Amino acid sequence: MRTFRPALPLDRARVRALLFDVDGTLSDSDDHVVARLATGLGFLDRLIKPGAAHQFSRAFVHFAETPGNWLLEMADRLNLDPHLAAFLDRRASEKEAIPENFPAIAGILSMLESLKASYPLAVVSARNEVTTRHFLRLNQLEEFFQVVVTSQTCQRTKPFADPLLFATRELGVPIENCLMIGDTVTDIRAAKAAGAQSLSVLCGFGLEAELRRAGTQKILPTTSDLAAYLTETRE
């Protein structure tokens, strides 16, 4: 029987740079996607049991939280990566005219304002370049981030270590001094693979139990609580 071992507590004294996921961490888009999908699958509630549509929708979106991990890697092996990237950007551009698809988590702007003087900040997203940049511009967040890493920056995206290592090289901060902030198991696995610390938030897609099982080192109710947590003198 596999034994669950709690992760080591997060060492705030080590943290010199912050890496942020987008969906469910800076943006609350996950909940909107799940709700829309569940509405379209309402027949599952009648066919199986009440709540089945939401459960299936959540599982589907969770699977899609690493959009293109497998697809982008396979395209790269076939030398099709530039074509796939262009296709994804075109598809994203068609959707981005609808601003309400990209709302920021409440309190994100003031949280980043509080942190920018103390930490270099980076985005490490599994979204593509167009949608990531659009979200940051739409919510006036671009100025806070020195580095923006998307699914198209490296050959592999999260849960592989590559995008985190790229971000830290660009920031000039050792990976062991970086904190990955995200809402899913994918973010935790990427942090572990790279050698960064991890902090999870419950304002997105992950459930507390699964985040703990994956080995997150700290859980906060929402990303907006991050500034207060990092500036606390003790737990």
Looking at residue 72, its pLDDT comes to: 46
Alpha helices in 41-107 (DSSP H): 43-47, 52-63, 69-77, 81-95
Looking at residue 40, its pLDDT comes to: 73
**CATH number of the domain that residue 158 is part of:** 3.40.50.1000
Contact of 167 with 124, CB cutoff 8 Å = yes
Q: Which residues form the domain of 211?
A: 12-28+99-231
Q: Is residue 84 part of a domain?
A: no
Which of the 8 DSSP states describes residue 19?
A: E
Q: Are residues 194 and 108 in the same domain?
A: yes
Q: Are residues 52 and 158 in the same domain?
A: no
Overall number of domains in the chain:
2
The residue out of 42, 65, 88 marking a domain boundary is 65
Q: Which of 123, 130, 122, 22 has its CA nearest to residue 85?
A: 130
Looking at residue 125, its pLDDT comes to: 93
Residue at 136: amino acid letter: L
Q: Are residues 38 and 20 in the same domain?
A: no
Q: Are residues 103 and 203 in the same domain?
A: yes
Q: Which two tokens stand for residue 55?
A: 């459960």
Q: Are residues 222 and 119 in the same domain?
A: yes
Q: Is residue 211 part of a domain?
A: yes
C-alpha separations of 45 from 34, 54, 117, 205, 207 in Å: 15, 9, 49, 21, 22
Spatial distance between the Cα atoms of 44 and 97, rounded to a whole number of angstroms:
31
Looking at residue 66, its pLDDT comes to: 47
Intervals of the chain under pLDDT 50? 1-4, 66-74, 77-78, 84, 88-89, 92-99, 234-235
Q: Are residues 59 and 128 in the same domain?
A: no
Looking at residue 136, its pLDDT comes to: 94
Q: Is 39 exposed, middle or buried (0-12, 13-18, 19+ CB in 10 A)?
A: exposed
Instruction: Look up the pTM and report it.
Output: 0.77
Name the phi and psi angles at 85, rounded to 5: -60, -45
Q: Is residue 70 part of a domain?
A: no
Looking at residue 234, its pLDDT comes to: 45
Looking at residue 56, its pLDDT comes to: 65
